[in-house]
Amino acid sequence: MEHHKEIIKSGCHKILEGINSMSLVNLDDQQIHSLVMMREIARGVVDGRDRKVTKNDVITALRYSIEKMVCASRDIIHILGRMSYEGLDDQRMNLVLRMKEIAHGIVDKQPGVAIARPELLADQVCFVDEGTRDSPVVESTKISNGDALIDEAQSMIHEDEMLDVEHVLRFENGIDEVQESLLSSCFQQFLLWPTGDCITLEWVQDMMFILEKASQKTLPTEFCHVVQTVVVYKLIDAACSILREEPNCVDINCLGDDSRVIVVGDIHGQFHDLMLLLKHAGAPSENQFYVFNGNYVDKGAWGIEVFLVLLAWKVLMPQRVYLLRGNHESRYCTERYGFKKEVWTKYGDQSEDVYNKFLECFKDLPLASVIANCVYTTHGGLFRSIHAAADPSGNPKQKKMQRVDLGSLADLSQIKRACIDSPLEGPNMLLSDILWSKPSNRDGLRGNAGRKFGLWWGPDCTEAFLRHHNLKLIIRSHEGPDARDGGEDFGDMLNGYSIDHDGESGKLYTLFSAPDYPQFGKRRYTNEGAYAILKSPDFASPSFQSFKSAERPMVYPYLDLDADDMNLSKLDSSQIASTSDFSAPQDAVRPEFDFEALGIYNAPSWTVQFPDGSGGTQAVQVPRAPLVEGLPLPPNIQEPHKGAYEYLFELVAGLKHMIATRETENMAHVSALQSRARKRKDRGQG
């Protein structure tokens, strides 16, 4: 019996040492709570305490951690107040000032970086008897006003990763040593531009790690601190210097014995799904090429992160990573589908310059690729000949429905792609075709009567294009499950790809890489994403790998309206040239939930009946709130209850937002009436 107790005690001692030596930088609040509880249980066994762990034990442990964090923050403030900033560039100066601000926030308990009371955190831990404590249960709730034990401070200073203050003091007059001690240990979540302007594999990997953690723990309005504008500008400049030298159709020579090419379709700002894809398919390497078919931004919350990561890979491996342009890489789409609003949210006062920088980069993206002299890839599809586009004769409306001649790769090479929006006429209208066209089961190449942009092309055009250029495959993107919903001609894209044409010379595939799409919208499809794998020596026989969506943090939509509901055929050229007409804010799509599945048949709706002033009532839609208390939910809450909770939390927040907004408007109205009354009174007295 004694021997058995010693074995248990020895095991608990190892657990205690292991937890004390752990880095907490990548853990969320719930995991930290579990570790604190586990550590106190192990400590009780090692110290011979013959009782279960109590709330006070965890409170004491948490308070000790907080006190150490505050003490270290005071030391950091003291050091930063005494050190000289001479020699620091703007990027590092901003980070030092940000560190000082956060340290002051910890010491002063400022909102946003405040430290929660240990009692609040301990209340979230469900303590269990010793007989069942080997599987601790932790419940996590959101603490209002952003007050959490591990918030911004969690990623910077921890009980087991305290800054070596004595070491820093010994070098407080040495800039390099202070920077190394402070910046490296306290700013692991800020992206610094590499020394010497040389992007390395380690830097790209760090970038992906930092952006992924920031998406989970940083407010969008704080993103400008994670990736400063100087980093954005330098990365875009480095990438554009490569992209603008590439032809409209890049020739990818990958004829090595063990070479393979990964072709990726639309991503649409779904950053976490991109990270999952790179993990599953493997990162770019000497023998692994990547071709991305465009649509990196819009409709998702992390278009900036997606595009910056892909630009970093392009700069690192310019002959292994190829980025093609999609129709959403334009001013026209980004002003309507959310990317512009995303930039405005994340970069605030600097957003206009940042947004224009992205637009300039979009213009440099190539339009198509030919892989191993065998496979043609592009975003939209085939295109008319440049002679047909340049022909000024005929009525434009009649020409829209006329058959047009099929273009060639020689025509493609003549396009001036440096147009931020797709032209509707002239030789460069081929840009519209390449980015917007769609396949059809009807032979011929004809204008798209429903849209201003692009063409329909039939199986005969696919066959003619492949035969003329001695190719075997076309892999295009542009259409997801929403575009194929209700159609019978082609596959529904729910597994991420579809065979659309299959002829004598080869096949046409549509590829879509955004699972569980769209992130924001009236309806979300439970589709899988997919990527194509082309291997040497038989590049003409692709395999397709479907994948489900990664777990995403909950965010608010940047999408102002459902642009797919707009009839593009009714837009004239002036409207297309300036899309500010389309960007008027609209209510975001409200969540839906089938309460009948839970046996609830009178669930609350997003409609409220208000008096209409004439004795009747009018239905008013509850708006989405900018902030929802209680979300995100802890991961231990499963469907269908998770969806019900999210629906109700969203509705309550929307109602509170509506009341607050109406009260503010009423107060402003009353104030205006009072002001006018005072003016009338003053005029009367005068």
Could you give the CA distance from residue 402 to residue 445 in angstroms, rounded to a whole number?
Answer: 9
Q: Which of 178-187's residues contact partners 24+ apart within 8 Å by CB, and which partners?
A: 178/79, 178/83, 179/88, 179/92, 182/76, 182/79, 182/80, 182/96, 182/99, 183/92, 183/95, 183/96, 183/99, 185/161, 186/76, 186/99, 186/156, 186/157, 187/95, 187/98, 187/99, 187/156
Q: Identify which of 431, 429, 421 has the alpha carbon closest to the alpha carbon of residue 390.
A: 429
The H or E element spanning position 577 is helix 573-577
Which of 186, 199, 191, 202 minimizes the C-alpha distance to 224?
Answer: 191
Per the annotation, the verdict on 501 as an active-site residue is no
Residue 411: strand, helix, or coil: helix
Per DSSP, 407 falls in state: P
Q: Do β-strands 260-264 and 529-535 pair in parallel, antiparallel, or remain unpaired?
A: antiparallel
Q: How many of the other CB atoms lie within 10 Å of CB of 592?
A: 11
Task: Specify whether the CB–CB gap between 606 and 622 falls below 8 A.
Answer: yes
Question: How far from 352 is each of 205, 343, 355, 359, 610, CA to CA, in Å?
Answer: 28, 8, 5, 11, 40
Rounded Cα distance, 416 and 430, in Å = 10
The CA-based angle 616-617-621, given to 5 degrees, is 165
> How many Cβ atoms sit within 10 Å of the Cβ of residue 128?
16
User: For residue 619, what are its two tokens?
Assistant: 């239905």
Task: Report d(CA 232, CA 672) in Å as an integer.
Answer: 45
Alpha helices (H) along 47-133? 55-82, 90-108, 118-122
| 80 closest CA partner among 152, 154, 186, 5 | 186
In DSSP notation, 110-161 reads: -TTS----HHHHHTTEE---GGGTTS-EE---PPGGG--SSSTGGGT--TTS
| Angstrom distance (rounded) from CA 458 to CA 46 | 75
Instruction: Check: CB of residue 475 under 8 Å from CB of residue 506.
Output: no
Strands 473-476, 125-126: pairing kind: unpaired
CB 478 within 8 A of CB 266: yes
CA 606 vs CA 144, 386, 629: distances in Å = 24, 52, 17
Beta strand 249-252 with 368-371: parallel, antiparallel or unpaired?
parallel
Q: Where are the alpha helices (DSSP H) in 395-458?
A: 396-401, 409-413, 430-436
d(CA 287, CA 261): 8
| Cis, bond preceding 591 (omega within 30 deg of 0) | no
Closest listed residue to residue 194, CA positions, set 315, 358, 319, 355? 315
Q: Which residues pair with 530 in a beta bridge?
A: 546
Q: Which of 536, 538, 646, 642 is nearest to 590 (CA)?
A: 646
Question: Token digits for 636?
Answer: 């231990």
The one catalytic residue in 328, 379, 478, 501 is 328
- Which residues are tagged catalytic? 328
